[in-house]
Structure 1
Amino acid sequence: MKLIKTSVFSAIITVIRIASGFVANKIVAIYTGPGGVALIGAFTNFISIALTFSNGAINNGVVKYASEYKDKEKKQKLLYSTSFKISLYCSLLFGPILIIFAKYLSDLVLTNEIYTNAIRVLGFSIVFYSLNSLLISILNGRHEIKMFTLVNTIGSIVGLLVTVVLVYLYKVNGALYALVLSQSIVFLITLILVVKSNWFSLSYFTQPFNKIIARKLWGFSLMAIITAIAVPVSQIVLRNLLIDKVSIQGAGYWQGMMKVSDGYLLLIVTSLSTYYLPKLASLKTDKELQKEIFNGYKIILPVVLLGCVVIYSLRFFIIKLLYTPTFISMESLFLWQLVGDFFKMAAWILSYLMLAKAMIKVFIITEIVFTLMYVALGYLFVNFCGLQGITIAFALNYLLYFVTMLFLFRKLIFKKFI
């Protein structure tokens, strides 16, 4: 089965990425403590917003249409050329904005001027991230899983090395610059590998700008922009809530918990993004879609459930391994976070249909509604339950999101085919 094959390659990416991320996080925790982990988490959220705007938020659109046009060379060339121009223009426009307004953005979004110079460096280097994202999206859409795996693996290793060196030398500031600089280095490696591919030709990137394709990509841009704003901003708001209501150490524990959660789920998320989006985009009938969704549930949900049980059972060991003894209070966050993770993955298997079938309005509405609900639930449960309330809010929000996905796609899921 292609899902299993893709998952194997995804596992290679994931193991290296998880190991790299956890080693980097361990270094950050040792040298900066819970407070430093919270600050770096905030900057990571800001970067994810900035980087989305830097390439016009077209990544998912490129994956979909690169898969759809796989056997149509002329359309491929128009897609790649138009995407290249969008990525280049957006990054050249957005980079100077970051440079000029770095101090203002640092104060406004992150309430601390410590990020000012790092934001300026991001502004200078953002074009490289933009083009790197485009090339990786093309590889994904073309189903070149081996090359995709190689590029992501090298990226993870480079990110780890840069982080270790800079954190050792410059502590918190080093971690900030590592987040910014690693993508620029990775772009050069990605470019070299892609240029050597059998299909590569400059003609794929030098065709005229195509307005029809640009309009198609715009729908995906809108969805990605909503997500890029909603998710990090909600985390910034909730992190500031924890700092205010609990402590900066409490915010650091939550950030640490999120790192653990994101790390072990990375295999599933990578499989979904590398397999499901292009696969669902290529399917035409409801019967094919239903079969693919059910296969996903049969393979993915048992793995997620097993992962949740193992992570919860080993939570004390994980905290000591990945962080320091000062993070032991993080243990209280595991149960509800893992419950939320399970429903999150159950919902995401269905929600990828919205991306694959360009259900723009439905995607945007659900994204906004459940982001606002997460923040509202966060305020409610943190006020009543303290630090643990943030993960209770997370679990309840994704349970409701899963139920909503079941309702939206009920006709497809429960339809009987002869």
Structure 2
Amino acid sequence: MAGLVAKAKSFISRVLKADIVKVFSLTSISTLVKMCTGLISVKIVASIIGPAGVALVGQLNNFATIAMAFSSGGINAGITKYIAEYREDNSMVAQLLSNALRITTICSAICAVVLIVFHRYISQLVMLSADYGYVFVIFGITILLYALNNMLISIVNGYKEFRKYVYISIANSIVGVIFTVALVLLWELKGALISAVTYQSVMLFITLWMLRGTPWLKWNFFKKKLDKIVSDKYFKYALMAIVNTLTLPISQMFLRGYVMAEISPIEAGCWEGMNRISNMYLMVVTSSFGVYYLPRLSEISQIDKLRHEIIKAYKVVVPILLVGFGLST
């Protein structure tokens, strides 16, 4: 019995010292803040604009997710991967950052033109009414800022600056809920819709302020010309990212749109509220893997070490998930 207890203590000690657990701890704090601010935002927004308004905001959020995938060229995972792999080589980092900026700018410009020119058609398609076309014009104007913010966060993740990543995430959550609630209080449904397509753009300035003094955040790292080889590296991730981004939001948009058209906008709003709450449960695990696993695997070049890292994560994550599932039941 004593031997079993000693083994258990040794296992727990190893688990607590593991890097992935440290990242889980940090991202858990970030996720907790995001959950709290999300619940506050949903509660306040729902009480002011009602379930039907929440359904419209849900449609817009799903569309914004899709638009963001295209505006970034689907390369954010590639940015994290290659920065993690080459972060000790400043010359290569400069090539990666310069190409990332140019691809993001070009793709965002194309998306902006589409959103502004076809705003009424997109509004009818997404919101089931052309009356919200102004929202897509605003989105087109600000989408570049939105994409740049995500690009910077991907770079931070690639450098494995986990604390800074978490601090930025927490700041974004807090400022985001303040921004959203303020616009909703001012303009109700109109404010909620505008907030849905602009709050990430506001976050760019918060992110830049928090990254001030960072060695790589200098123009010298972003001024190189577009390089075909580096661009091809990035676009290997584009199809994967875009398909992954398209599937869930589109299915949710179709389902929510069907409920709005065939049942009622109020019922669609109730479904959206429950959907948002259910999505929060898995954020601790999914956020931690997104922050830790991609950059960690990217810096490993040997098969044996890669296998060891996967097994180590498996030994840590599975017990945590089993305990979580047991407590939830």
* Separation in 2, partners of 1:244, 1:183: 30
Q: Name the structure 1 match of 2:267.
A: 250
Work out which structure has the larger RCO, using CA pairs closer than 8 Å and 6 or more positions apart in sequence.
2
Q: How far did residue 153 of structure 1 move?
A: 1.4
Following superposition, the deviation at residue 306 of structure 1 comes to: 4.7
Further displaced range: 245-254 or 29-38: 245-254
**How far apart, in 1, do the equivalents of 2:63 and 2:117 lie?**
16
- Is the alpha carbon distance of 1:310 and 1:107 closer, same or farther for their aligned partners in structure 2, counting shifts above 3 Å? farther
Give yes or no for the alignment of 1:142 onto 2:151.
no
Q: Which amino acid aligns with 1:28?
A: V
Q: Secondary structure at the match of 2:211?
A: helix
Equivalence for 2:294: 277
Query: Which stretch of structure 1 is more off in the superposition, 190-199 or 274-283?
Result: 190-199
Q: Residue 289 of structure 1: CA displacement?
A: 3.2
Paired position in structure 1 for 2:23: 6
Q: Rate the CA distance shift 1:200–1:295 in 2: closer, same or farther, 3 A.
A: same
1:395 paired residue number: none
By how many angstroms is 1:251 displaced?
2.6
Number of residue pairs matched?
Answer: 312
Residues in 1 aligned to 2:174 and 2:303: alpha-carbon distance in whole angstroms = 41
Which letter maps to 1:85?
R
Q: Is the 8 A contact 1:66 1:76 kept in 2?
A: yes
Matching of residue 211 in structure 1 with residue 228 in structure 2: yes
Aligned 8 A contact 2:57 2:196 in 1: no
From the superposition, tell whether residues 38 and 10 of structure 1 become closer, same or farther in structure 2 (CA, over 3 Å): same
1:373 corresponds in structure 2 to none
Q: What root-mean-square deviation, in Å, do the aligned CA atoms of Structure 1 and Structure 2 show?
A: 2.0
Answering whether residue 73 of structure 2 is matched by residue 56 of structure 1, we say yes
Identical columns (%): 35
- 1:305–1:162 distance in 2 versus 1, CA, 3 Å: farther
* TM-superposed deviation, 1:247: 4.0
Give the superposition deviation at 1:150.
1.7
Are 1:35 and 1:252, in contact at CA under 8 Å, matched by a contact in 2? yes
Specify the code of the residue in structure 1 equivalent to 2:219. L
Q: CA deviation at 1:244?
A: 5.0
Distance in structure 1 (CA, Å) of the matches to 2:323 and 2:57 = 30
Q: Which residue of 2 aligns with 1:65?
A: 82
Alignment partner of 1:177 is 2:181 = no
1:115 aligns to 2:132 (yes or no): yes
TM-score (norm 1): 0.70
Aligned equivalents of 1:170, 1:311: Cα separation in 2: 39
1:68-97 deviation line (CA, Å, top 9, x unaligned): 112221111100001011111211222122
Out of 106, 112, 128, which is 1:89 matched to? 106
CA contact (8 A) 2:297 2:306 kept: yes
Residues 86 and 92, structure 2, Cα contact 8 Å, conserved in 1: yes
Letter in 2 for 1:93: I
Q: Helix, strand or coil: the match of 2:282? A: helix
State how 1:281-320 maps to structure 2 within 5 Å: 281-307=298-324
Distance in 1 of aligned mates of 2:322 and 2:275: 17
1:230 is matched with 247
1:287–1:238 Cα change, 3 Å: farther
8 A contact 2:60–2:126 mirrored in 1: no
**For 1:243-283, what per-residue CA distance to the aligned partner results, in whole angstroms no more than 9, with x for missing partners?**
45654343333322221122122121111111011112222
Partner of 2:15: none
Q: Do the aligned partners of 2:146 and 2:198 also contact (CA within 8 Å) in 1?
A: no
Q: Which amino acid aligns with 1:23?
A: I
Give the distance between the partners of 1:116 and 1:246, measured in 2 at CA. 24
Shift of 1:195: 3.5
Q: What is the alpha-carbon distance in structure 1 between the residues aligned to residue 21 and residue 94 of structure 2?
A: 30
Any gaps of 5 or more consecutive residues in structure 1?
313-418
In the TM superposition, 1:256-267 aligns within 5 A as 256-267=273-284
CA contact (8 A) 1:264 1:307 kept: no
* Aligned match for 2:122, one of 92, 96, 105: 105
Contact 1:265/1:304 (<8 A) preserved? no
The 1-side partners of 2:55 and 2:308 are apart by: 42
